[in-house]
Structure 1
Amino acid sequence: MSVLEGSSILVTGGTGSFGKALIRRLLDEVKPQRIVVYSRDELKQWEVRQLFNDDSRLRFFIGDVRDLDRLNRATHGVDYVVHAAALKQVDTGEYNPSEFVKTNVHGSQNVIEACINNNVKKVVALSTDKASSPINLYGATKLTADKLFTLGNHYAAAYDTRFAVVRYGNVTGSRGSIIPKFKALHEAGKSLPITDLRCTRFLITLPQAVDMVLDTFELMQGGELVVPHIPSHKVTDLAQAIAPGAKMHDIGLRPGEKLHEEMISPEEGRRAITVMDGKYYILEPELATWGYVKRTDGTPVEDGFHCASDKNDIWYDAEDIREILNLEV
């Protein structure tokens, strides 16, 4: 039985692609008592109401994570929180750095404060590969948020609230996916723009991302950073999966974009273990004042471990990607 069964759960950013997939799983399989959908956009909230046929277990709060008072109201009576709200576009962050700091950093601290204030039991915050060795403003704000949540357990040591973080790359097929754009270009006989033909990326689907969050609620003590062990792919193979035989051209990396994704840096890798038969890596806290007990069910990684998309031991080719995404040729 899931620890979430029969509970009250709040999802910040709950109208996004991940939020909707999580809500569907919670309603269909976990059977919570109540789900609070917290987001800024009333239109998206209306659309989610229609999507779930006004399910009586759903509650909708218009609010911004920048607003601590509103978060305090929304988390009243809540048992568990999934923090998915963030500003995420790399290039937008380069032009609007202070706005990203307000949402991704100050907003994260507000979530922490509200959860402690309202005796929330567990909080899982969503991170990104760009928080590992960040080279752009978005990644820097998410790394800061990661630290706020994992180290926030010190802040909450005298309380029952515990925080953990999950880190993964772009979710394939989520909102803003490149799939429809590439299909349209290919059908028009045009070449597909690839930021760099050498690029590699990790591949994770929405169901896998949801699995990861639900698993983290089960395994966490507080202070963990959880990373999935998932396959890599070449961006050119993704393009060929979407549009077989399409021409491709190199347009160069965008500002703040990496050639290869990284989810665990060499420095972080020194404290990584694998759990659940290698399904996940966990970075355990180095200093824990909240009663964290070092795990005995994990396997230490090899010396010099580095989780990057070009150094992976699992790879998908175009045919694999096409099958996973149910793409028709």
Structure 2
Amino acid sequence: MATELRARRDISVVAFLDDNPELHGATLNGIQVCAPTRLDRLIAARRIERVILAMPALSEPGRGGLLRRLAELGVEVDYLSTFPEAAIDRSDQPLAPDTLLGRPAMDGSLPLGGDAYRARSVLITGAGGTIGSELCRQIVQCGPAKLVLLDLSEAALYRITTDLRPLAETFGVELVSVLGSVMDAPHMASILSRHGVEVVLHAAAYKHVPIVEENARVGLANNALGTAVVARAARAAGVARFVLVSSDKAVRPGSLMGASKRFAELAVQDLAAREGATLFSIVRFGNVLGSSGSVVPLFQGQIARGGPVTLTDERATRYFMTIPEAARLVLTAGALAEGGELFVLDMGAPVRIGELARQMIRGAGYSVRDAAHPDGDIEIRVIGLRPGEKLHEELMVRTGAQLTAHPKIIRVHEDHLSELEMAAALRDLRNAVECGADTAAIDVVRRTVRDYAPQGHQNDATALRLVHPCYPGE
């Protein structure tokens, strides 16, 4: 956009503004990247008359706050979507979310539930991750009194804190950054007490299927036991709401990652069934476009390098949402909860990954190279499913789904364990993890998550008898 604008005689591009401190002082085509905090000085020194907001994912409340802030500085403000088309060359822009999703993207506002977070103290675990960071950005715009950011990664925590600070100042939100693990029970209890936390959004998890498959004990400990630690600490502290961010891979899981998320769901369902002041709920959804490790950035990188684009299986399908859509609906579902709900987000029809790859190649201006088109630009190479991956993901197991006040949020009913069964499962998993035994930890998960069928065993009756305690006839 800057290149196109510089070609016009009536416009002079003075600077880029970006919240990322790592970019400050850098130059792009001779234009300096500056911190937003310098804008008032830039306006005075360079006689700036217009600011263009190129932030299409920003929600309406966030946009309104920035517009008010800029208006106070006496400059004209244009939003990218309303800027004259002649000033922007869109020929090399990435495909729109509507194209990749196969459906229209959802509206950018949070129509329901903002009051559940307003003037509250909110803790977000995994705050530096893909979903966690977007939850932070959106919840700031709801006006909580305090937002506590927890992450195990110092770098991720620094990035999201720095990114959020200008927005938090606009909405008058106190930011608190806490480094630590969800496995640390005393630390979690201290955080909840010290900051008077009233709402917990638990997004911390290891989510990459092949990595958890190869690091079973660590993945199961973090995802399953970590969730139990945070949820129990929330209950003991009298937190008003606890929302577990879950995954469609928890449904009839074929991977340890999926099984660990189902184990986490069972732990939360167990607490929800007991008497207490905390409203527990679970929100389950599929893949998000552009998240760490998802196919979209993977394909983008492969296309940029000239291919090949690697595809696990031509038949593979996945459910997709944009990152803002998923975070918005998680917040809405958490606010709708009355206790014990397992919510599933309506993600539309599943997308064929092979067709997604072809769309992205064509959208980047290239052609697909295959047997019918040997002179094409980019090859698609099928490499086979990785350990734990399934051809098709599901969002729910049982029938009897119920509509909620939001058309994209569905309430489902699924079986859960008794209090004694869950206590025994947590004890056994904790013992296996402390003994350092991957095999023992996996065995506990196999006994606990009754629908868990490791990839390669789904159609093997003998193997199912070995790993599935509820196999018919046993």
TM-score (norm: length of structure 1): 0.81
Name the structure 2 match of 1:142.
Answer: 261
**Structure 1 residues 39-58: aligned runs within 5 Å:** 39-53=151-165, 55=168, 57-58=174-175
Q: Which of 146, 157, 163 is equivalent to 1:34?
A: 146
Structure 2: gaps spanning 5 or more residues: 1-113, 369-378, 419-474
1:150–1:222 Cα contact (<8 Å) kept: no
1:225–1:282 Cα contact (<8 Å) kept: yes
Name the structure 2 match of 1:261.
Answer: 393
The AA in structure 2 aligned to 1:261 is E
The AA in structure 1 aligned to 2:238 is N
Q: Which SS does the other structure have where 1:190 is aligned? A: coil
The AA in structure 2 aligned to 1:52 is L
The AA in structure 1 aligned to 2:401 is A
Q: Take 2:304 and 2:152, find their aligned partners in 1: how far apart are those partners?
A: 36
Residue correspondences, number: 283
Aligned CA RMSD, in angstroms, stands at: 2.1
Q: Which SS does the other structure have where 2:338 is aligned? A: coil
> How many Å apart are 1:285 and its aligned residue?
6.8
Could you report, residue by residue, the CA deviation over 1:168-206 in whole angstroms, capped at 9, with x for unpaired residues?
Answer: 111111123433442343344333110001111111111
Q: Take 1:93 and 1:136, find their aligned partners in 2: how far apart are those partners?
A: 8
Q: Take 2:281 and 2:406, find their aligned partners in 1: how far apart are those partners?
A: 20
Structure 1: gaps spanning 5 or more residues: 290-329
> How many Å apart are 1:74 and its aligned residue?
1.1
Higher deviation after alignment, 229-238 or 194-203: 229-238
Name the structure 1 match of 2:353.
Answer: 235
Higher deviation after alignment, 58-67 or 273-282: 273-282
Higher deviation after alignment, 141-150 or 271-280: 271-280
Q: Which SS does the other structure have where 2:318 is aligned? A: strand
Q: Which SS does the other structure have where 2:115 is aligned? A: coil
The AA in structure 1 aligned to 2:119 is G
> How many Å apart are 1:286 and its aligned residue?
6.9
Name the structure 1 match of 2:327.
Answer: 210
Name the structure 2 match of 1:200.
Answer: 317
**Structure 1 residues 102 and 185, CA gap change in structure 2 (3 angstroms):** closer
Is 1:280 matched up with 2:409?
yes
**Structure 1 residues 240 and 203, CA gap change in structure 2 (3 angstroms):** same
Name the structure 1 match of 2:71.
Answer: none
**Structure 1 residues 261 and 285, CA gap change in structure 2 (3 angstroms):** closer
Q: Take 2:413 and 2:322, find their aligned partners in 1: how far apart are those partners?
A: 25
Q: Take 2:124 and 2:165, find their aligned partners in 1: how far apart are those partners?
A: 18
Identity of aligned residues (%): 31
Structure index of larger Rg: 2
Q: Which of 158, 174, 184 is equivalent to 1:67?
A: 184
TM-score (norm: length of structure 2): 0.57
Q: Take 1:190 and 1:217, find their aligned partners in 2: how far apart are those partners?
A: 41
> How many Å apart are 1:61 and its aligned residue?
1.0
**Structure 1 residues 217 and 185, CA gap change in structure 2 (3 angstroms):** closer
Higher deviation after alignment, 169-178 or 249-258: 169-178
